[in-house]
Amino acid sequence: MHDVSVNAQNGQIQIANEVLAVVSGTAALEVEGVATSHSVSDASGRFAKRNFSRGVKIAMREDSVSVDIAIIVKFGHQIHIVSEEVQKRVKSALETMVGMTVKEVNVNVVGIHFDKPPKVKAKVKSKVMPTKRG
């Protein structure tokens, strides 16, 4: 993968693929129903520190860019609607922020995130000891 080079009026501008990946990942995470990009959970299943470029691959093709992004969708959201919105947001973000033509945004849904139910404390039965009167 090569960095993006843009000829500007006063010289050349280079944008690292990592920057394009961060822009794409951040745009995807703004979509309602996206839990995270890729599988960034630790061993206990909790979400670890977010790496906005994780699960994002950028491919340059002549004058355009193609994006492959892996996401985890929150349970209860319609996967196809969330995926289409991710495509729109990533395309818009790259075209607006970088000024590049986006050829395609391929979304790979790699998992479903289930919210953990709230913990319910068990009722503790206490035995009432009779008091001595006397």
pLDDT in tens, the chain (134 residues): 456 666 667 888 888 899 999 999 999 999 999 997 654 443 334 444 456 677 899 998 877 999 999 999 999 999 999 999 999 999 999 999 988 899 999 999 999 998 876 566 666 665 666 666 66
Q: For residue 46, give every residue at least 6 positions away whose Cβ sits within 8 Å of its Cβ, in sequence order, or none.
A: none
State the Cα torsion 35-61-88-58 to the nearest 10°: 10
How far is residue 1's CA from residue 129's CA, in Å, rounded to a whole number? 75
The model's pTM is: 0.72
